Amino acid sequence: MKSFHFSWQGMLAILLCLVAIPALPLLAADAATPVSSGTTFVIFILIAAAALLSFMKLSEELSAAILFFGAHAAAWLLLSGISGDEGKAQLSFFILIAAAWLLAWRCVSVLSSMRAQSTSGSYSLRLLIPAIFGIWILIIWEAVTRGAGVSLVLLPPPSAIGTRIANSIPTLWIDVQQTILTAVLIGYIIGCASGFVVAILADRFAFLRRGLLPIGNFVSALPIIGVAPIMVMWFGFDWQSKAAVVVIMTFFPMLVNTVTGLSAAGNMERDLMRTYASSYWQTLFKLRLPAAAPFIFNALKINSTLAMIGAIVAEFFGTPMSGMGFRISTENGRLNLDMVWAEIAVAAVAGSIFYGIVAIIERMVTFWHPSIRGGQT
């Protein structure tokens, strides 16, 4: 049995450590609080030891744990060392960040090759792998902006955005209530429900199907930036105009997907229902709607993101003194980019939660579908 397992990410991480040695120190000579030699030594040991241990024939769980600890501990020490000395990072700092990133890459590769023995383990892996990806996007973002001294006006670091979120929770909550809990949800429900009902009617009456679907394709191509100010003029500056934009954006995806899904049932199944003398409505509810469920949920997932985009963009054209789009527009004019990014982060998290809730409901309702039974999302 082989006791050595080659990893090009680990090898390259070790080489980067060797390259970083002659480029020391980590910070410029005029740094207020330079990184101590002891801390620098620990960073090198963490990266090199994790890389060397990843070459050994260890269990996948132990190897992933070692790589995870080495990569993130080294990154934490590097980012902590630059605190208060933004813009003072030397080449060795960025080289070691790259070495730690390679260890995280290897960690994700190991986790991706693992086969969970239980359902909970499978869900944990499916959450952990994208979480590591997301964490390292933030780490690299933080290292580049703080290490290179990027102006807060151009791109604030994630730590500044996080601080802004923590200090602005009341304001952000008011904006979430105005945009998401009012305009998005109401517009989403009305748009999806009306699209579904019209799709049933279009399936029942051929002239509606032939007339509405081309119009749906046409309306879907309309630019939201042109529709939004018209809705504001029609329905006023409050949430009603934003909900109207959301209705327009969500109606036709639901219509088109539902009509397509209602045609998904096979001819053999339809013939079987005819042999049972089933009426149109019996065939619809017992065969065609269940067969169309994946298409309907696909529209619901698409609309969950379209609704967020539509409501936020609509708020750029007139709104009360609250709302996520309003806040982004006004704070951008004041060059408060940390608040702009805070609103973007909250919108992204809310949109992801919205999408996730719809996806979970889909798995519960369409558990019988091959894509669900096969473990696909």
Sequence spans of domains, the chain: 8-150, 159-372
Residue 75 has pLDDT above 90, yes or no: yes
Second CATH level (architecture) for the domain 159-372: Orthogonal Bundle (1.10)
Q: Between 20 and 317, name the one with better pLDDT.
A: 20
Residue 71 has pLDDT above 90, yes or no: yes
Q: Between 224 and 301, name the one with better pLDDT.
A: 301
Please give the pLDDT value at position 118: 75
Mean pLDDT of the 193-219 span: 80
Residue 375 has pLDDT above 70, yes or no: no
Residue 187 has pLDDT above 90, yes or no: yes
Please give the pLDDT value at position 377: 44
Please give the pLDDT value at position 1: 43
pLDDT tens digit string along 240-269?
888 999 998 898 889 888 888 888 776 776
Residue 287 has pLDDT above 50, yes or no: yes
Please give the pLDDT value at position 78: 92
Mean pLDDT of the 205-226 span: 75
Report the distance separating Cα 351 and Cα 343, nearest Å: 12
Residue 42 has pLDDT above 90, yes or no: yes
Which of these ranges, 166-175, 341-350, 357-366, has the smallest mean pLDDT?
Answer: 357-366
Please give the pLDDT value at position 4: 65
Please give the pLDDT value at position 213: 74
